[in-house]
Amino acid sequence: MQSAEVNRTAIGVVRKPHGIKGGLKVTLYSIDLEMLQNLEQLFVNTGDEWKQLTLRNSQGYDDFAILSFKEIHDRTQAEAFRDQEIYTVREDLPELNDDEFYIDDLIDCEVVNEKNECLGKVEEILSPAAHDIIVVKSGNEEILIPLVNDWIVDIDLEARKIQVNSAEEI
């Protein structure tokens, strides 16, 4: 989900407003609060334009963070950001080791089973709580696959391919 004009990468998704002063309850993707606090440029795509946000305060919890931004002053303004992804400029993110990736890197990867049969492409990543889930779409069908070692055999970002085990193999 990167924009065409600037290489932006999704780093989290707003779940809902938090409190009366415009806080946002956010599920962070492949980053932690320390990395987030070092990011200078954060954005939300409003559909018409990219709106830049300035982080004012952040608090971390087990599976979510509460973020406050200088541009959001009350719960009514915060409500407009519900279910929106928060982005940063890719170059602002730290370099990763060869075996690491950002969740956003998986979008549009082809997913194949152990017989190398195509199951579809990754359309989105869900972060419900315990672990991330890749949503694989093929035509009108969707397959949900947990992003855990029992299910994921290999992720080859250069080839844009993810190999998974079938349910029978687990």
Mean pLDDT of 116-128: 88
Q: Which residues contact 88 (CB under 8 A, 6 or more apart)?
A: 8, 9, 11, 39, 41, 42, 43
CA distance 40 to 49: 19
Mean pLDDT value of segment 104-130: 88
pLDDT digits over 84-103, tens only? 999 999 888 888 787 788 88
Q: How far is CA 12 from the centre of its chain?
A: 5
Domain covering 8-92: architecture: Beta Barrel (2.40)
Give the pLDDT of residue 22. 95
User: Residue 170 has what pLDDT?
Assistant: 43
Alpha-carbon separation of residue 72 from 14, 42, 117 (angstroms): 13, 13, 47
Contact 47, 65 (CB under 8 A): no
Rounded to two decimals, the pTM is 0.71
Task: Give the pLDDT score at 18.
Answer: 96
Domain 107-169 falls in which CATH fold? Answer: SH3 type barrels. (2.30.30)
Question: What DSSP designation does 109 have?
Answer: -
pLDDT digits (tens, 9 = 90+) for 58-73: 998 877 899 999 999 9
In this predicted model, what pLDDT tens digit does every residue of 6-62 receive, in sequence order?
A: 688 888 899 999 999 999 999 888 788 888 888 888 999 888 889 999 999 999 887
Residue boundaries of the structural domains of the chain: 8-92, 107-169
**What residues have CB less than 8 Å from 18, skipping those under 6 apart?**
24, 25, 66, 78
